[in-house]
Amino acid sequence: MANLKEVRIRIESVKSTQQITKAMKMVAASKLRKAQVAILKLRPYAFKLKEVINNIIEDKKYLEAIEKSGSCLTKVREEKKILLVVIASNKGLCGAFNSNIIKATNNLIKDKYSKQADKTQGDLSLICIGKKVSDFYTKNEYNVVGTYDQLFDSLTFENIIPVAEKIMKSFANKEYDKVEIIYNEFKNAAKQVLTTEQFLPVIFDHTEILEKKGNKIPTDFIFEPNKERIINELIPRTLKIQFYKALLDSNASEQGARMTAMHIATDNATEMLKDLKLSYNKARQATITKEMLEIVSGAEALKG
List residues with catalytic annotation.
Answer: 94
22: nearest Cα among 214, 262, 302: 262
Percent of residues in the chain assigned helix, strand, coil, to nearest 5:
65, 10, 25
Contact 160, 244 (CB under 8 A): yes
Q: How far apart are CA 116 and CA 211, in angstroms?
A: 35
Q: Strand 178-188 and strand 144-147: pairing?
A: unpaired
Q: How far apart are CA 195 and CA 85, in angstroms?
A: 12
Q: Residue 179 burial by CB count (10 A; 0-12/13-18/19+): exposed, middle or buried?
A: buried
Q: What's the number of CA atoms in the CB half-sphere (13 Å) around residue 200?
A: 31
Residue 93 gets the label, from left (phi > 0), alpha (psi -120 to 50) or beta, of left
DSSP states along 218-283: PP----SS-HHHHHHHHHHHHHHHHHHHHHHHHHHHHHHHHHHHHHHHHHHHHHHHHHHHHHHHHH
72: nearest Cα among 164, 162, 165, 171: 171
Contact 146, 153 (CB under 8 A): no
Give the other-Cβ count within 10 Å of 7's Cβ.
19
Contact 89, 130 (CB under 8 A): yes
